[in-house]
Structure 1
């Protein structure tokens, strides 16, 4: 190898070594100054999950790989689903384990025990999904109220169907009887009168079903107007006088001044008529029904209907405002009762922001009291207000339980 070639190769080797040395130095400097990449913790929750759970209205629960609760919404504790770090419901825990095993989102509806007695009372819909690699998220909605409403609707339909069978079946039988007795004018007239009674009963039942349905749909009155409750009571009493005269029952109406409320005149007349009609229907002949309307402290107008009937047992008092509930089914049929009258009164009172209550003792009669907010809120009233009585003078104050049978 000549000198020129050797010099050329030496120069090239020097240049290559110099480049390698520079690269090595720079690589070392980069390694010394580089910030280490954070190591991901598989047990850590995703950012923001705690903030979401804190404001969640439904029950939100996060479980780790050991089935321990690592975070939850306040509703989960309120509904008894979480206690300390434990999920209290084995059914939900089983679904969470299945989701962790196969990573598939699941939706289930469960009926869970609630309370120390373990009685079924909490119906929930749960959506369970994997959250990261080691966590499971449970979103649990309380569906107890919607289930209860569905049961009420189903019972209502069943009750309506049952109640409609009686008058419809009666009309069918009476129609057959008329056909069979077409050559007997007296029998035809008798059956025709019975058909008229059943037709009226059917009409009343259908109307009350419509009224009750309308009241249940409207949680409050859309366009309330000033209503003189004393005038509404007088109108309701007038509609009940014919039935009262048939049994020789005296209806005494006692009213005071400033008995106006905000509401629907027709609905209030219907409610009062139902109360008075019940009092007449369940009172013995030659007795008295008293209807009093007055204002009481607290800006409340109070209407009380007192009868001298057979009274209501305490166990039945808890249920008499339920739809289609009858204390005495046989007597209700004989009086033409539908079992909806007091339910309508209850809904009318609620829609007007008031309430209806009952006092009764077997053998001592009953007093139903309707209380509604007065239209004249904040106005001072004279305790000795002028009275009017459509029959005879009686004490203006509502009768006490002890006086109920003496009014």
Structure 2
């Protein structure tokens, strides 16, 4: 009987202890729920139902703040933009907007320019920030990156400004010249002189319209629909013929070289326009009595051999900041010089689109005062290469001189030409 009593007493004591422990655990849990810890602020449990799903599909960067300005939820894009660091919103103007919205419940929106962090670039990151209340405790911040949109808008403004100017100049000149012809109808010599000027302005206007058409075509047409093996020699010869008169007027020597019997696969018209634009640019931006060289060669590449066509000049060169933008439509390194040479700012943009649509690329090496080398790289036409590969003893070299070391290249890896050095 004493043993049974002892067991009963022990069980009662154990029950009391268990109850006390359970009550303490429940009290501790209630206190934790009433006072959220730092870790609980970063869980999705405090978000209203469905909000996390909505935030995950938004294109904008999203940040949810609680009443203590701690980050409850932030998208990966928000971290990528540098908006959130160390669990806090790192942009003070946005943080102040969130506090004001939490106080009065008003939705706020502002555009800001934020410094780029860790890139070493001086330009700013343009963003649009919108703050709205999310329930009674939280504030939602949505941030949209406007940098690319602003860049496109700047390009559009440049487009309108340049086209307006380029159209206005020849159209205005034609109008004035036509009046001059009418006034000088009794002077045959003056009529002939004015008619010649009218032809020049009409040609300038035609070239601008044609380049606009060419740019539109290469952007939207598929070159593979009308593709064929195209001989690089013929493309080079056509580009040289296109610029022969303008080069002769400046006493510029046109030198061709490299490997013969190369073929690329693509649209002949687009490829001829692209290479012609490169050669024309080289002539237009070269001083008188210099040389422009065009060389082609085969380059081994992991995905198949490439044909590399390099156009080298001894011109004014391009600064480092301009090299990043020379392939943008209507961008000009020197607008005044471009107007003097009749350039529209579309040529290199056309080259870029043609190269990309043919599975290739165009790059530039340049130094101010030392000239430039534009290199067009395109996939080789494999069938044509196998059918017309030169014999082992035939180098196919058509350079003007034979006194250059074999295998010599420029510093940028391009073929040398006689008398043409970047």
Same fold (TM over 0.5): yes
Per the alignment, do residues 301 and 152 of structure 1 end up closer, same or farther by CA in structure 2, a change over 3 Å counting? same
Counterpart selection for 1:236 from 231, 236, 239: 239
Aligned: 1:387 with 2:392: no
Which residue is equivalent to 1:4?
none
Q: For residue 295 of structure 1, report the CA deviation from its aligned partner.
A: 0.9
User: Pairwise mapping of residues 92-241 of structure 1 onto structure 2 (< 5 A)?
Assistant: 92-104=94-106, 106=107, 108-115=109-116, 121-215=124-218, 217-218=219-220, 223=225, 225-230=227-232, 231-241=234-244
Q: For residue 156 of structure 1, report the CA deviation from its aligned partner.
A: 1.4
Which residue is equivalent to 2:293?
290
Mapped to 2, the partners of 1:158 and 1:67 lie a distance apart of: 46
Which residue is equivalent to 1:312?
317
Mapped to 1, the partners of 2:366 and 2:125 lie a distance apart of: 35
Aligned: 1:343 with 2:343: no
Number of aligned residue pairs: give it: 365
Per the alignment, do residues 358 and 91 of structure 1 end up closer, same or farther by CA in structure 2, a change over 3 Å counting? same
Question: SS of 1:406's equivalent?
Answer: coil
CA contact (8 A) 1:274 1:342 kept: yes
Structure 1 unmatched runs, 5+: 1-37
Question: SS of 2:343's equivalent?
Answer: coil
Mapped to 2, the partners of 1:334 and 1:137 lie a distance apart of: 54
Q: For residue 221 of structure 1, report the CA deviation from its aligned partner.
A: 5.2
Q: For residue 211 of structure 1, report the CA deviation from its aligned partner.
A: 2.4
- Deviation string, structure 1 residues 19-73 (Cα, Å, up to 9, x no partner): xxxxxxxxxxxxxxxxxxx999797333565566567653221111122112211
Per the alignment, do residues 393 and 181 of structure 1 end up closer, same or farther by CA in structure 2, a change over 3 Å counting? same
Which residue is equivalent to 1:400?
410
* Larger CA Rg, structure 1 vs 2: 1
Aligned: 1:374 with 2:380: yes
Mapped to 1, the partners of 2:83 and 2:368 lie a distance apart of: 46
Q: For residue 151 of structure 1, report the CA deviation from its aligned partner.
A: 1.9
CA contact (8 A) 1:227 1:262 kept: yes
Q: For residue 195 of structure 1, report the CA deviation from its aligned partner.
A: 0.5
Per the alignment, do residues 363 and 142 of structure 1 end up closer, same or farther by CA in structure 2, a change over 3 Å counting? closer
Q: For residue 146 of structure 1, report the CA deviation from its aligned partner.
A: 1.7
Aligned: 1:354 with 2:360: yes
Mapped to 1, the partners of 2:83 and 2:255 lie a distance apart of: 57
Which residue is equivalent to 2:67?
65
Mapped to 1, the partners of 2:48 and 2:258 lie a distance apart of: 69
Mapped to 1, the partners of 2:34 and 2:261 lie a distance apart of: 73
Which residue is equivalent to 1:77?
79
CA contact (8 A) 1:167 1:202 kept: yes
User: Pairwise mapping of residues 248-287 of structure 1 onto structure 2 (< 5 A)?
Assistant: 249-254=252-257, 256=259, 259-283=262-286
Mean CA deviation greater in 80-89 or 244-253: 244-253
Mapped to 1, the partners of 2:268 and 2:401 lie a distance apart of: 27
Mean CA deviation greater in 48-57 or 72-81: 48-57
CA RMSD of aligned residues (A): 3.9
Per the alignment, do residues 222 and 123 of structure 1 end up closer, same or farther by CA in structure 2, a change over 3 Å counting? farther
**TM-score, normalised by the number of residues in structure 2:** 0.72
Question: SS of 2:72's equivalent?
Answer: strand
Which residue is equivalent to 2:306?
300
Mapped to 2, the partners of 1:263 and 1:201 lie a distance apart of: 29
- Deviation string, structure 1 residues 171-209 (Cα, Å, up to 9, x no partner): 222222212212111001000001001100111012112
Question: SS of 1:209's equivalent?
Answer: helix
Q: For residue 260 of structure 1, report the CA deviation from its aligned partner.
A: 3.3
**TM-score, normalised by the number of residues in structure 1:** 0.74
- Deviation string, structure 1 residues 252-280 (Cα, Å, up to 9, x no partner): 44364673334332121111111222333
